[in-house]
Structure 1
Amino acid sequence: MREKALSHKPITLLAVAAGAMSLVACPANSLLESGQPVAKAPASVTSECAADLSWLNSSTLPTEVPGNKTICNLEQFMWQSMLALVQPTSDPNLLQFETWMPSYGIFIKDGTPTPWGQEPPTSCTTNTKSPAAGGKTPRLYTDIVKQAGSDQPLIDLNGELVYYSMTVNQSAYSMITSCQLYQANCAGPLKPGNKGIDLITKYPNLAYPDTAVELKTSWMVLDAAAVASGRYYVVPGLIQFKDSPCRQVSLGLTGMHIVSKTPSFPAMIWATFEHRNNAPDCSNTSAAPPLGGAWNFYNPACTGCTTNTYQPATPAQVCRMHPQGDSAVGTFPGGVDCNVDPNQFACQDKTRTMLAESTLAINAINISVQALIKANPGRINGVWANYELVGNVWTTNGVTPPYLQAQQGSLSAANTSMETFVQNGVPAVSNPYNCFSCHNMAGPTEGQNLPPAGLSHLFDEVQMPGGCTNGALPTACSPYIGGN
């Protein structure tokens, strides 16, 4: 197996004259807008964003954001989605999200993708896949160890790599396989640097169906004491680093991205959840882990450690730079905060008020969900109270491409277990930095937009050559090509 990386060249989308949108490389000052008033402290914002008791034992994924699609409604939608995904299936050893198709079952070198509902093959020998304690057969949660954006691995305090998994629901799977986007010619520019069909010209509206969902999860290797602590959702898993033999280990869930498409949000809704003991806020590193025990990725005894910086073969010292994804809180890139440049987008009055509302809604819904879980142990596994929503971003009125001024929610959303080293962006990309900084439909050349399907970076995994030899997507793809 090869050491896989999840990465993509980040750019930022800016609005230009007459409401048109173009894709431009993101210079250090590209997020600034001239002529805007100096930022003031946002007006008082309150939130009573509550969860619903019915979510605790419902496996039905919501298909649209409820109500008036307020910030609170978006946070409610994603927590309801999270709780639906962790419900048991007819097989008591599997949760709903564990039945979804992993990327390695779709993007293969030859043959055809694994049929839906079947376990995809791995490079591990069969004798390593015997059922472990608890009855669950290990699954190759992945050989992916490099993070998106930084192309670097996260090493935990025990010196173990953190592993990542990507899966899709049946709606997304059906679209990918019906359009044969697992083959290079069909995927065309959806895979960076690839040739094939000119999807930009021929199929500019190619998109996931409205019920499509992608998941990305992060897992740390647990020792017996961590498993026994009850703080983590634990699975027996298989991990593989490069060409080394597979290891059967206990894996603890440390993070989950949920990316959902609905009729009102064609640019999708990008939410991220974390284990509550992952890391402290950078502004309060002396804080005790909320669940007791130790932080997963922060060592308070290492007073000389540099935070959020990758160092080879060294445990990372991680803290959260922008709590709840609030761009106006925390350290800005290069120290250019609102005092230095009050005109930048994150510092404008309207933006700061929106960010404050987002932060309050996230905190309120987390408190509400955790209280419901603890008060109703018969409805759901209590371990899910140990996880929290840390960011959620979308576009106003479903705008695509997702240019900066259309973005709403946690404009600096980042997961400390998945975007550890790029919480403040990457070179040439400044504050705010979030999922849309990379998942932006950027085409191969400046000024080109990929079809909406290009919001997903799953197509980076395309390995199989050929396909679509007649220069067109298959007829089965017709439901997904829109008005092309």
Structure 2
Amino acid sequence: MKQTINLKMVLTTLVFFSAIAILVSGSFTQASPSYIQAKTGSCQFEKDWITNPDNPPDEVARSDTDGTSNFCDFYEFSWQWFLHLMAPSADDKNLRNFEIASRYPVLKATGEDSCSNKTGKPIFFIRTSKDKDDSTPFVLPERVHQAGSRAVIYDINENIVLYSVQFSEGLCDLTNADLKSDTAMLPSDTLELKMAWRILDDTSGNSIDDKSNYYWINADIVATDNKGYPVKDDKGEFVKGQRTLGLIGMHLVKSTPDHPEMIWATFEHKSNTTECVLDFQRFDHSYSFLTDKGKFCLDAPTHPHCESTFNNKDPDNNSLINGGAFFSGDEGVPLKHATTNICRVFPNATADMDYKESENNKAIDTLNEGAGAALSSLAPDNPMAVLKNYFNVGSLWLSNPKKEIGYHVPETPAGTDNQRGSLQLANSVMETTDQGTIEIDKNGQLVTSTEGVVNCFVCHGYNPTNTASTKSGSKLSHIIDDIVSGKTRDAR
């Protein structure tokens, strides 16, 4: 049974839909291995993570001979948690685990009690800025902590991208006193989710709008006028119509007892976009955030129509690559606008010469290949099968969690000596303008640079003795103050 969800302005509440898992068996001439391992690398994708996803690990494994965790351990941890969150819940097969509101409440606006929301109806926001110190009030729909430079992005059908935020229920136990303390810690099992969604247009005839390729939900979306702005009826109520939304990105941030700095993992849909450089088959594919003109400019960057398109944040230029759109004035942000052309600056969120670059790339590629093979082998009506269309961009963590990382801004990037994994970690539909730099070199070729790069630890400070702090300089969580300020169940 499908349900309709109301959206106020660009605020959308929703009910998710999932099919009951159907286990398919067959006869085989030989036993199927319990894991799928790519040709290179020592990482192993276990089929059991799909068939028995209800018990993800509480801690990152320590598989190295010296008793420490290696790169594979962190990426296997990331995949296990992604699959667990996206699996049908044992409590309610019509919901995925992340949709169980008693475990993962939905973030609401400042002054509203997110901890009392037990309906399982996440709330959507427009992404307009990524506040570096997170000190501005949470006023819908102006802030979602997802983009740089106050950019807004639009898909191939010129529809705005929406975002939802959830968190582990244990954060509801923190108080205002904790946030001001010098010793308060976030729970050791803290989890934060930030998800990006796009409207799937079933009239486009384009394969990238086929909802069977997405984890999707139905929602009521506000209708727009010919300028892309919301429409009201004679009573002043917003005119709405049911649309289908597909999941296109997920930030999965999870702490453990050994890693209070949290493991920062991000996943994307395979149809979002392609790499900025070295993709010679981009015209063979359709993407949600790359037009034919965008593809042409990536292949012919010195063409007169393309030279000014890279990392240019001029709001009047609609052919930008990784530039986003910018709006000011009383009308606010339109729900429809010209497509944002996006490309992925660093494959695997890893630059040449990053620390243990080869090991990191091998771990990511091996597990993505293993996940794709295992998920593709499922019957189409298995609710986990759709996850074959998603991949892990990368993950980030600290080598020594006892060391502090102070707050930084993009102009003064955090040192990476103690950071491990994907050191350029960014999601193309969540940090579009903060992925690094693409430029045209003297030979007329596109090159990438880490100049101005922003990974998670640039905006998220970390103090190993005070992870719950909201003081400037050590804000690990950018939503904890909004959670605590809106609570009604605890007046402390």
Both structures adopt the same fold (TM-score exceeding 0.5): yes
Query: Which residue of the partner structure matches residue 381 of structure 1?
Result: 384
1:160 is matched with 159
**Mapped pair 1:457 → 2:457:** no
| Structure 2 residue 374 is matched with structure 1 residue 372 | yes
1:61 shift after superposition? 2.7
User: Structure 1 residues 326 and 293 mapped into 2: Cα distance closer, same or farther (>3 Å)?
Assistant: closer
> Within 5 A, what are the aligned runs for 1:80-479?
80-89=80-89, 90-100=91-101, 101-105=104-108, 107-109=109-111, 112-115=113-116, 118-119=118-119, 139-146=121-128, 147-170=146-169, 174-175=170-171, 177-181=172-176, 186=177, 199=180, 203-224=181-202, 225=205, 228=210, 230-239=212-221, 245=238, 248-288=242-282, 294-302=286-294, 303=296, 304=306, 305-312=319-326, 313-328=337-352, 347=353, 351-352=354-355, 354-377=356-379, 381-402=384-405, 404-424=416-436, 430=451, 432-441=453-462, 450=471, 454-459=475-480, 461=482, 464=485, 474=492
Instruction: Pick closer, same or farther for the CA change 1:237–1:463 going to 2, 3 Å.
Output: farther
| C-alpha distance in 2 between matches for 1:465 and 1:67 | 39
Contact 2:152/2:325, CA 8 A, preserved across alignment: no
Q: Is the 8 A contact 1:155 1:314 kept in 2?
A: yes
Q: Secondary structure at the match of 2:365?
A: helix
For the aligned residue pairs, the C-alpha RMSD in angstroms reads 3.5
Distance in 2 between residues matched to 1:459 and 1:243, nearest whole Å? 31
3-state SS of paired residue (1:251)? strand
- 5+ residue gaps, structure 2: 1-7, 12-38, 64-68, 129-145, 232-237, 297-305, 307-318, 327-336, 406-414, 439-449, 464-468
Count of residues paired in the alignment:
358
Q: Is the 8 A contact 1:412 1:431 kept in 2?
A: no
Report the identity percentage: 27
Q: Is the 8 A contact 2:251 2:264 kept in 1?
A: yes
Deviations along 1:298-347, one digit per CA (max 9) or x if unpaired, are 1134434331112444311111101101122xxxxxxxxxxxxxxxxxx4
Contact 2:175 2:484 in 1 (8 A): no
Distance 1:168 1:449, change over 3 A: closer
Q: What does the per-residue CA deviation read over 1:360-392, in whole Å, with 9 as the maximum and x for residues that have no partner?
A: 110000001111112233865211011000010
Q: TM-score, normalised by structure 2?
A: 0.65
Residue 218 of structure 1: CA displacement?
0.4
Q: Identify the residue that residue 126 of structure 1 maps to in structure 2.
A: none
Distance 1:400 1:454, change over 3 A: farther
SS for the counterpart of 1:83 is helix
| TM-score normalised to structure 1 length | 0.66
Q: Deviations over 1:83-115 (max 9, x none)?
A: 11111123332111122445444x5525x4443
Q: 1:440 to 1:149 in 2, by over 3 A?
A: farther
Q: 1:2 to 1:462 in 2, by over 3 A?
A: farther
SS at structure 1 position matched to 2:375? helix
Q: Shift of the alpha carbon at 1:275? A: 0.4
Structure 1: any 5+ residue segments left out of the alignment? 5-44, 121-138, 189-198, 329-346, 443-447, 475-484
| Partner in structure 1 of residue 77 of structure 2 | 77
Contact 2:157 2:201 survives alignment (8 Å) = no
Give the residue type in structure 2 aligned to 1:167.
Q
- Identify if the C-alpha distance between structure 1 residues 208 and 250 changes in structure 2 by more than 3 Å, giving closer, same or farther: same
Deviation at 1:450, TM superposition (A): 4.0
Residue 124 of structure 1: aligned partner: none
The residue matched to 1:272 in structure 2 has which SS? strand
Distance change >3 Å, CA 468–CA 288, structure 1 → 2: closer
Q: Tell me, what secondary structure is at the counterpart of 1:366?
A: helix
Deviation for aligned residue 1:449: 8.7
Output the CA distance in 1 between the equivalents of 2:470 and 2:417: 17
Go from structure 1 to structure 2 and tell me whether the alpha carbon gap of 1:88 and 1:467 turns closer, same or farther (over 3 Å shift): closer
Indicate how the Cα distance of structure 1 residues 460 and 287 shifts in structure 2: closer, same or farther if over 3 A, else same: farther
2:147/2:433 contact within 8 Å kept: no
Residue identity opposite 1:274 in structure 2: E
Q: Give the whole-Å Cα distance in 2 for the aligned partners of 1:282 and 1:114.
A: 41
Higher relative CO (Cα under 8 Å, sequence separation at least 6) belongs to 1
> Contact 1:142 / 1:239 at 8 angstroms: preserved in 2?
no
Q: 1 CA distance for matches of 2:391 and 2:167?
A: 21
Aligned letter for 1:96? N
Deviates more, 1:72-81 or 1:60-69: 60-69
Give 3-state SS (helix, strand or coil) of 1:405's partner: coil
* Residues 269 and 392 in structure 1, CA contact (< 8 A), matched pair in contact too: yes
Rate the CA distance shift 1:55–1:452 in 2: closer, same or farther, 3 A.
farther
Per-residue deviation, 1:393: 0.4
CA contact (8 A) 1:271 1:389 kept: yes
Letter paired with 2:185: A
Q: Secondary structure at the match of 2:457?
A: helix
Query: Are the equivalent residues in 2 in contact too, given 1:56–1:380 (CA < 8 A)?
Result: no
Conservation of the 8 A alpha-carbon contact between 1:59 and 1:83: no
Please tell me whether the aligned partners of residues 56 and 379 of structure 1 are also in contact (alpha carbons under 8 angstroms): no
- Between Structure 1 and Structure 2, the one with more helix by share is 1
